[in-house]
Structure 1
Amino acid sequence: MRRGFIAASAIVTFILILSTAVRAAEVTVVDGDTIRIDGTTFRLHGIDAPEAGQTCRDASGGTWRCGDEATRRLEYFIGDAVPNCDDRGLDDYDRVISVCTVGGIELNRAMVSEGYAWAFRRYSEDYAADEEIAADKGVQIWQAANQAPWDYRAAKWEVATQESPDGCPIKGNISENGHIYHAPWSPWYARTKISIDKGEYWFCSEREALDAGWRAPMWGH
């Protein structure tokens, strides 16, 4: 009887250890087109979601926080799973360009099909047809005429370069979250103050900030 109890306990312990090992991967949704898995950042191939601080118009003439909603939708698709992401090389910011799937759902396509992201046709036509269907249905970002995220970023950058030292608008902030840089389209940009005396910096590009050891903020920080 005692021997059987010990054997059963050993099996339970083994299962618990195995379960912990299987779910060891840490998954964070950075925004509507970016995921971080165990410290590696994956940028969803062929799509561009609204920025975290971006708002969109709706069918009634009001506005909604499309950037936040896109992030929440990607979180919903992922749930407690660990996405399976392929490797299509690195972009200019050291993110792995990927097509990611969860339970048979291709995240890239789902985000475009449901109207939470644009097809990033500058780099790929893979999701152009899905975008056209979503636009015809008038779902989410297609409820009204809305600014594409690449135009949103460009507009924010142009204004910030005119107001920042030496035309370098990226804020390298040091906080309890570490060394975080904020581009002009970051929702925390306006309230982030830079103190050179504390070792904080103004950067001229995201690449410069990354090379100096700063990282982009994550949604919720």
Structure 2
Amino acid sequence: MLRILFFVAAVASGSMAHAAPNGPIHVVDGDTFKVNGTTVRLHAIDAPEIEQMCGDANSPVWACGAWVRDKTREMFEGRHARCTATDTDRYGRTVAKCTVDGQDVGERLVSGGLAFAYRQYGMDYDLAEKGAAVTSRGLHGTGIMSPAAFRSAQRAKTQSNSSRSSTGAKTVTVNRSTPQERSWLPNAINPACKIKGNISMNNGQRIYHVPGQPYYTKTRISLTKGERWFCSESEARAAGWRKARN
């Protein structure tokens, strides 16, 4: 009897040690949450690192990692998650599949183009990623180094100052020729949004130009200087830009 009780206690203790948390979400980045205070790495998905930049020969450089984090926060910050643990990673984080209102969080992120299927750890979201890629949704609408390749390149740079090309990382270039494809880009980098947000070289004022204004055609957008595109005047004003006087 004593042996049975000891076995049951050991099993219960092991189950508790691997139990995944349920509770409110705080988004750390695109694939890592704190759920009720416990750090959870979402199972079988991989999102850009916060400091990661995206872009290729066909699109300007932009802060895709921070964008993914912000979009993920819009979707899930403060909401209640129910998680099922699948593993513990080498950093001691609980690896888990989580749902919000019955919907798989990982699938929503991958199908929305905010994260990639991490096939090394499971094929759960393979089809979701392929669907997002076909329609150039989210990150699939711009050039991006895979998050795993980016991390590898960063480690190599830190260790030996070697170039990223030595890691075998691949940048994917996507043809974004249709309005449907462009519609998935953030407004700030999307030339389908016709309003030009320009920063004055003289006084740093943020001024937007709409089609038909005298200087609209001559105005060039430099994302590296903080300039951007807007899809509406109300969006531009809300971001702190004023309309050009001519």
2:121 to 114, 123, 126: 123
Aligned-partner Cα distance in 2 for 1:105–1:59: 36
Aligned-partner Cα distance in 2 for 1:34–1:76: 15
Query: TM-score, normalised to structure 2's length?
Result: 0.53
Structure 2 counterparts to residues 1-221 of structure 1, below 5 A: 27-57=25-55, 61-162=59-160
SS of 1:116's equivalent?
A: coil
Structure 1 residue ranges (4+ consecutive) displaced by more than 3 angstroms after TM superposition: none
Aligned-partner Cα distance in 2 for 1:46–1:69: 21
Q: Sort the Cα spacing of 1:59 and 1:140 in 2 relative to 1 into closer, same or farther, 3 A.
A: farther
Equivalent residues of 1:134, 1:142 under 8 A apart: yes
Amino acid at match of 1:101: T
Aligned-partner Cα distance in 1 for 2:77–2:51: 23
* Larger Rg, first or second structure (1 or 2): 2
Higher RCO (C-alpha 8 Å, min separation 6): 1
Deviation at 1:133, TM superposition (A): 0.7
SS of 1:89's equivalent?
A: strand
Aligned-partner Cα distance in 2 for 1:53–1:152: 10
Amino acid at match of 1:56: C
Residue 218 of structure 1 corresponds to none
Aligned-partner Cα distance in 1 for 2:98–2:50: 20
User: Which ranges in structure 2 are unaligned for 5 or more consecutive residues?
Assistant: 1-22, 162-246
Query: TM-score, normalised to structure 1's length?
Result: 0.59
Cα-to-partner distance string for 1:137-157 (whole Å, 9 max, x where unaligned): 011211133100000000010
Q: Percent identity?
A: 34
Instruction: Give RMSD over aligned pairs.
Output: 2.1
Deviation at 1:58, TM superposition (A): 7.3
Aligned-partner Cα distance in 2 for 1:31–1:49: 8
Deviation at 1:26, TM superposition (A): 5.7
Equivalent residues of 2:43, 2:106 under 8 A apart: yes
Deviation at 1:44, TM superposition (A): 0.4
Q: Sort the Cα spacing of 1:75 and 1:94 in 2 relative to 1 into closer, same or farther, 3 A.
A: same
SS of 1:52's equivalent?
A: coil
Equivalent residues of 1:59, 1:143 under 8 A apart: no
SS of 1:141's equivalent?
A: helix
Aligned length: 140
Equivalent residues of 1:33, 1:47 under 8 A apart: yes
